[in-house]
Amino acid sequence: MTAFLNFFVSVASTPAILVGLIALLGLWLQKKPVTKIVEGTLKTFVGFLVLVGGAGILVNSLNPFAVMFKFALHVQGVVPSNEAVVAIALQKYGTATALVMLTGMIVNVLLARFTKFKYIFLTGQAMLYMSCLTAVVLISTGMKTNIWTIILGGIFEGTLLTITPAICQPFMRKITGSNEVAMGHTGNIGYATAGLMGKWFGNVKNSTENIKFPKNLGFLRDSTVSITLVMGIVYLILALITGPKFIETKLSLGTNYLVYSITQAGTFAAGFYVVLAGVRMILGEIIPAFQGIATKIVPNAKPALDVPIIFPYAQNAILIGFFVSFIVGTLSMFVMVAIKTVVIIPGVVGHFFCGAASGIYGNATGGRRGAIIGAAVNSLLISWLPLFILPVLGSLKLAASTFADTDYLFGGIILGNIGRLGQLGITIGILAFLLIVILWSLFMKEPNSKEAIK
């Protein structure tokens, strides 16, 4: 049993394998020739590895930035990092996490099959992290690791991962110009909020992508060039504040601190370029392959994929969203220091991915102003909500890290507070959540591929 759980978690939490298997199933259901099945499966598999590799390059180039930032400002506190907190939690909650994840995947497929929410969540690591959060919160409320806890946890996770792509889909249609792919990330509540902020307070006519550069600065339209320059300036400023002694002894291993900083900026741009290549490769294969599943198993199903899937659509909004998000997070940190709460140190990786996506969503409905306001509001959510999730994490609240994205934060806070009512309260709350989603599906209007937010 343990070996099976380990194998299942390894497969399900490895997006490249999971999505490759989905592509294989979809092509097989369409009765494609063996050569096409092999080609489509391998291209999807490799495409995701390219995307993940690019994301890894981005993260590795941002980690030194985070270390320099923390040293330069002399702050100590809790750093929101999904990977760090899950690594700690899995040592104690590994079995419960795996079983909740398996149950949650089944619930997601069943809801997609029998309701109007036709979204199959395919971001494996996000499912793993959400399963871990659910298991931690439920067990921390006093529930035992038994079959009923696993069922309730799976229902909660599967329902949440079905409904959050649905609330983002109107904005995804604006961003991508189609209805073929959904957002499968755990920042979806924040992204939808950013889209609404853009709609309410922005001006969609002034898109971030229409920013006009003078003729002699036309080379800045190339995203690789502009990202390298912008990140280079930011990195150099931070390096000058941090000083050569710390960087050259702790980070660069003797390489000149300015040269090291410029290299990290270029590495960031390289990672972004790789991510875009992976996205193009995935979209070229997974959407046609997914039609087999959409027609045979879950009619009209849409794959919900990881956040970099939208990066090619608004590349200026990515940088705007990131910097606005990080600045708001930093200001929030100083406010926490002043009012003497637990200090939430802005996690650079979280602010990059969630801030960038919020900028894209805000831009889709409100242009430049929407991108700025959307990213700022999302940053306030991921900066302040961690203060409210720490009390419901049991012994995990003592860790130096916590969950970072809005869906973990909202889900964990609500689940933890319901848990104060005891097992009966948790049962009623989770089943009520499932019932509300089912009833919502029954009375909602069926969207079409050309539908847009007015």
* Tens digit of each residue's pLDDT (9 = 90 or more) over 76-96: 777 777 766 776 777 677 778
At 395, is the pLDDT very low, low, confident or very high (cuts 50, 70, 90)?
low
Q: How many residues does the chain have?
A: 454
Please give the average per-residue pLDDT across 343-354, as a whole number: 84
Is pLDDT above 80 for 394?
no
> Tokens at residue 49, please?
């590895």
What is residue 51's predicted lDDT score, i.e. its pLDDT?
73
* pTM to 2 decimal places: 0.81
Q: Is the pLDDT of residue 119 over 90?
A: yes
- Assigned token pair, 367: 């242009």
CA 74 to chain centre: 29
* Mean pLDDT across the chain: 83
Number of neighbouring beta carbons within 10 Å of residue 232: 18
Q: Calculate mean pLDDT across residues 246-255.
A: 88
Query: What's residue 31's pLDDT?
Result: 82
CB 387 within 8 A of CB 341: yes
Average pLDDT rounded to a whole number, residues 209-225: 65
pLDDT of the residue at 417: 87
What pLDDT, on a 0 to 100 scale, did the predictor assign at position 43? 86
Question: Residue 99's pLDDT band (boundaries 50, 70, 90)?
Answer: confident
SS3 67: helix
Instruction: Tell me the average pLDDT across 129-150.
Output: 85
* pLDDT (0 to 100) of residue 449: 46
Q: How sure is the predictor about 452, in pLDDT bands with cuts at 50, 70 and 90?
A: very low
% of the chain surpassing 70 pLDDT: 88
Which of helix, strand or coil describes residue 121? Answer: strand
> Residues 6 or more apart from 105 whose CB is under 8 A from it?
12, 121, 127, 158
Q: Average pLDDT, stretch 322-351?
A: 88
Q: Say if residue 454's pLDDT is above 50.
A: no
Q: How far is CA 36 from CA 32, 33, 59, 171, 181, in A?
A: 6, 5, 34, 33, 22
Is the pLDDT at 198 greater than 80? The verdict is: yes
